[in-house]
Amino acid sequence: MKLDILLGLQWGDEGKGKIVDVLAQDYNIICRFQGGPNAGHSLEFNNIKHVLHTIPSGVFRPETINIIGNGVVIDPVIFQKEIIALEKMGVEIKKNLFISKRAHLILPSHRILDAASEASKGKTKIGSTLKGIGPTYMDKTGRNGIRVGDILNPNFKEIYNNLTNKHKDILKQYNYEYNLDEYESSWFEGIELLKSFQIIESEHVINKYLDEGKKMLAEGAQGTLLDIDFGSYPFVTSSNTICAGACTGLGVAPTRIGKVFGVFKAYCTRVGSGPFPTELENEVGEQLRQQGHEFGATTGRPRRCGWMDLPALKYSIMINGVTNLIVTKADVLSNFKTIKICTHYLHNGKSIDYLPYEINEPLEPVYKEMKGWEKDITTCKTYNELPKEFIDYLKYIEDEVKVPITIISVGPDRKQTIVK
Ligand code: GDP
Ligand code: IMO
Ligand code: MG
């Protein structure tokens, strides 16, 4: 069996959690392959809204196995909070959640390093989620990291102290006050909880499941434009958020990849700093923010909003080899008379129709205007019920990017999903 992958094509928050929850009914296994608690994946059903950070979005389907892969970074404190919230909702989590021995741990001092680094950057800060993501991946690639498998080592406390002491030395360079003690005790509580879960050699388990013909979906976090290699560097996250990240983050060969679902919003949003060519710093942007409830699921920060950016979408489709597109939040555009789509940019007065290396330089978006549908679409159940103007909008995008849009999300609830 092949591994299908679902990932974000913009700057994160495209609605991946909602869609994974919907698709999970067709899969036996859902796996996270990168990122960590910087992610906030919301899903809604039976009037309950839930936000997941580390745990895969298949967790609400009782038959589905969920795997936290080797490419993920785990903060035991946040993990414990998520588990408690899920258990309160009656989810039997221990049976169906597996964690890779190779996943790296976010230490309390990684969080402090993240905060100290951001504070020292002042205006040029990344606008990170302050969850310790960057410093943890730095220790991973610097070959200093601590992995989930290490918690089973009798000398774990010593391993922990060695790395924390290294961090304390680095922190001397910053003029940053901190207190580790409080977070440390809940961190070790979280470690004890982690030990009670099924800690596995996930690459073997995942490949065995695929050999057995089990259906598996990899759930991306963040989005392609936040990828460490192909995003708007340095304003990115510290992992490979793209399709290839699922191969390294799970131990699955590229020849085993099946469908690649690319999720995009009908407009664009971004949290944190960095370039955003179609950003609307005006009342239209504010209208998108209010109507789309564009406030971060992890940090609560207001999301920056702007029109759909086709060159950026084409870039993401190319990098990921997207086979199926999924559009979300088009319902948010229902009150707009006209809808704009950026078709190309002016860069130094020259027209370009692709996302260039110079994304940090001014790129002036050039727009095509389309007639809005001005109708509520949140109760539409089938493609044929959708207003003509909306179908024209979808067809225009499909013609431009040459990939079919196969799922249309018209609201946050599981049921508000049209499969074409
Ligand atoms: P993720 O990080 O990609 O999983 O996305 P988030 O959960 O951070 O942000 C998406 C937000 O939009 C959440 O509040 C979802 O409940 C909501 N959402 C998802 N799909 C739709 C949709 O089609 N329409 C509307 N109005 N909201 C949606
Ligand atoms: P989901 O999975 C949106 C952004 C941060 C910041 C940059 C680096 O919910 O789509 P980090 O903490 O990773 O070092 O921050 O990346 N960012 C996200 N933006 N959605 C996310 O995840 C994000 N995860 C990180 O705001 O700009
Ligand atoms: Mg999110």
pLDDT tens digit sequence for 248-283? 999 999 999 999 999 999 999 999 999 999 999 999
Low pLDDT (below 50) residues in the chain:
none
Q: What 3-state class would DSSP assign to 73?
A: strand
Q: Return residues with CB closer than 5 A to ligand 3 (ion).
A: 13, 40, 297
Mean model confidence pLDDT for the chain = 97
What is the rounded CA–CA span in Å between residue 243 and residue 218? 9
The dihedral over CA atoms of 376, 366, 236, 399, expressed in degrees to the nearest 10, equals 60
Q: What residues line ligand 1, using a CB cutoff of 6 Å?
A: 8, 12-18, 40-42, 44, 293, 297, 328-329, 331-332, 409-412
User: How far does residue 13's CA lie from ligand 1's centre (Å)?
Assistant: 7
End-to-end C-alpha distance for the chain, whole angstroms: 24
Q: What are 83-125's pLDDT values in tens digits? A: 999 999 999 999 999 999 999 999 999 999 999 999 999 999 9
Q: What 3-state class would DSSP assign to 340?
A: strand
Q: For residues 16 and 57, is the Cβ–Cβ distance under 8 A? A: yes
User: Strand pairing partners for 199?
Assistant: 99
Q: What 3-state class would DSSP assign to 146?
A: coil
Nearest ligand, CA of residue 233?
2
pLDDT at 182: 85
Q: For residues 1 and 215, is the Cβ–Cβ distance under 8 A? A: yes
Q: How far is C-alpha 60 from the chain's CA centre?
A: 18
pLDDT at 299: 83
Nearest ligand, CA of residue 237?
2
Looking only at the bridges linking them, the beta strands covering 257-265 and 3-8 are parallel
User: How far does residue 53's CA lie from ligand 2's centre (Å)?
Assistant: 11
In this structure, which amino acid lies at residue 322?
A: V
User: Strand pairing partners for 31?
Assistant: 67, 218
Q: For residues 407 and 419, is the Cβ–Cβ distance under 8 A? A: yes
Q: Is 413 a catalytic residue?
A: no
Q: For residues 210 and 204, is the Cβ–Cβ distance under 8 A? A: no
User: How far does residue 297's CA lie from ligand 2's centre (Å)?
Assistant: 10
Give the nearest ligand 2 atom to 239 CA.
Answer: 13
pTM: 0.97
Q: H/E element holding 311? A: helix 310-320
Q: Is 344 a catalytic residue?
A: no
What six digits make up the tokens of 74? 């785990």
